[in-house]
Amino acid sequence: MDVGVVTRSFPELTNAQAAELIASEGFRWIELCFSQTDSNYWVYNGRSDLTGLSDAKSRAIVSEYRNRGLEIPSLGVFTNLLEPDDAQWKENLAYFDRLMEIAATNGIPVVATECGFIPGQRGINADAFESRFERLCSALHWLTERASQYHLDVALEACVLDVVPSAKRAADVIQQVGSEHLKVLLDPANFIANNTEEEMFAHLSQYVAYFHGKDREVNAAKGCAVGDGHINWPKFIELYQKRTPGVPFILEYVTRDNFCEIRDRVLAIDREVATLMHRETAF
């Protein structure tokens, strides 16, 4: 099993430094976010001014990673698709569109986002649920139409804390939007309070663009590193190997100090699972 890591785990490094560190430790993939000291454009649940991020600059950044043998299956955006102000919502979509253009320019096949949320009002609110869900679907309709023109996919990372709180609901959204360019970024930590590991794969395995590798305690609001929460990782990795082998698995919620240690936890579990699966097939 190969493992990747999100570049925003290293905000104190330049792109060249992050690329050198990640590659030297034997990782295969990155989720690229423009979050390094020499490309500080990433804003969670919002947007930044991208006027300084030219196509040429983006190509230079991407080259830092690819020249060291790292693959880039995804560009992380994670803007707010539920923004209630129409003008600001359209600005968020335009920001996303520019990042899709950059992804297409660099041959990055997936651009990822969460649903977004209103600060101080995160979660499902019965009075606003229908309007916010409609807002999300409108955004996804528009984005996937643009994605089709760029020949790439949009990957939605849903979460129990948001307007799409389960694996089934995420599958419903994909079916309702009806675009082959809408996929999922499956983060098991985001569903563990609502879904078993088996349910995640049953509903979403056919739509997975890639995985986030992180954990969560069932009753916690924040995630944690793989192995520090309540996910049954042997079961999850067994399902991964059976249903989605080779799909990028990219660590999140790690740091420069522990990203190799957490990667080694994943690989140790993968070896155990492989041994058990081999014994099962031998009989």
For 170-181, the pLDDT digits (tens) are 999 999 999 999
- Of the candidates 55, 85, 61, 68, the residue with the CA atom closest to the CA atom of residue 29: 68
Token pair listed for 61: 């950044």
User: Which whole number is the average pLDDT over 252-275?
Assistant: 97
Q: What is the CATH number of the domain that holds 155?
A: 3.20.20.150
For 80-118, the pLDDT digits (tens) are 999 999 999 999 999 999 999 999 999 999 999 999 999
Strands 249-251 and 208-213 turn out to be parallel
- Residue 32 near residue 250 (C-beta atoms within 8 A): no
| Whether this model's pTM surpasses 0.75 | yes
DSSP per residue, 25-83? TT--EEEE-SEETTEE---TTS----TT--HHHHHHHHHHHHTTT-EEEEEE----TT-
- Residue 219 near residue 194 (C-beta atoms within 8 A): no
- Residue 254 near residue 10 (C-beta atoms within 8 A): no
Helices (H), the chain: 15-24, 55-66, 86-105, 129-150, 167-177, 197-204, 233-243, 259-282
Q: How many CB atoms lie within 10 A of CB 6?
A: 24
Number of domains observed in the structure of the chain: 1
- Residue 116 near residue 145 (C-beta atoms within 8 A): no
For 17-28, the pLDDT digits (tens) are 999 999 999 999
199-206: long-range contacts (C-beta < 8 A, 24 or more apart)?
199/167, 199/168, 200/167, 200/236, 200/239, 201/239, 201/240, 201/243, 201/244, 202/167, 203/167, 203/168, 203/170, 203/171, 204/167, 204/170, 204/171, 205/239, 205/243, 205/244
For 238-259, the pLDDT digits (tens) are 999 999 999 999 999 999 999 9
Confidence of residue 280 (pLDDT cuts 50, 70, 90): confident
Instruction: Give the sign of the dihedral formed by CA 130, CA 195, CA 109, CA 182.
Output: negative
Domain that holds residue 54: 4-282
Give the three-class secondary structure for 251. strand
% of the chain beyond a pLDDT of 90: 96
